Amino acid sequence: MSRRPVIGIPTQTLHVIDGIPQGLPPSWVMNQRYYLAAIAAGAVPWMIPLLDEDPDTLREIYDRLDGLLVAGGVDMDPTTYGVPPHPRLGAIDPARDRVELQLTRWALEEGKPFFGICRGLQVMNVIRGGTLLQDIEAERPGALKHDYLPTEGHPRDFLAHAVRLAAGSRLHRTFGGAEEVRVNSMHHQAIDRLGAGLLVSASAPDGLIEGIETENGGYAVAVQWHPEAMAAGHYLPLLEPFIAATRPH
């Protein structure tokens, strides 16, 4: 029986839990949907702690992984892509930024399979020198509403809009050559300037980038929507090629 590939999924910082005030050691957490989706696709998920001050241990963890999945979460600190904060910048997690940027840099440089979801797409873009819109509504007048958030009463699997898939892209092949698919949408940030060596594989009707992949080299794909919150018939076609890329060829 072949060994199931190990997929690392970085955590995020939870500063307050059960009334414990800030200032005490924080917790590292992550939504279970990402781990359950990885299991359903045939992988063994591995929670990665935010060891931003211990690069040696972080590297030891990375070396044991067969693939890296960077999940959704809070906004990236705009200093990571060289711009000042916008008034509508949301919460940030600097330790998570540092860990995910380092892990993603290693993965893209060394060809370890990578899959990004929502914030993960943004991390992939930033590591290649791209920039982000810190708030779509404020910085891209006329854009569609993209922040259909659960905090506003929207279910996480609400199909907000279609995305057009670029012909010949990995995403296009993943969905059997379909020209477009409908997706959920839970983000207020998005790619502004595309990073070097990246191709746009999916776009929203307003032109915002919804999917990217590397031009060449190892498997590296990211989407702006949240497939883990959708039915298995949507997330499995996305995750299975990623998991397959981690296996020996």
Query: Which DSSP helix (H) or strand (E) runs through 70?
Result: strand 67-70
Measure the CA–CA gap between 112 and 168, rounded to whole angstroms.
22
**Which listed residue (100, 118, 146, 187) is catalytic?**
118
> CB under 8 Å to 76, separation ≥6 — which residues?
92, 97, 119, 122, 123, 126, 132, 189
60 is catalytic: no
Could you tell me where the DSSP H helices lie in the chain?
32-40, 55-63, 94-110, 119-127, 136-139, 170-174, 232-245
> CB under 8 Å to 236, separation ≥6 — which residues?
40, 41
Measure the CA–CA gap between 182 and 227, rounded to whole angstroms.
11
C-alpha closest to that of 145 among 128, 130, 158: 158
**Which listed residue (100, 210, 213, 228) is catalytic?**
228
How is 138-199 classified by DSSP, letter by letter?
HHSTTPPP-B--GGGT--TT---EEEEEPTTSHHHHHTTT-SEEEE--B-S-EESSPPTTEE
**Which listed residue (146, 187, 226, 234) is catalytic?**
226
161 is catalytic: no
Burial class (CB within 10 angstroms; exposed 0-12, middle 13-18, buried 19+) of 123: buried
C-alpha closest to that of 8 among 114, 127, 118: 114
15 is catalytic: no
Give the residue numbers marked as catalytic. Answer: 118, 226, 228
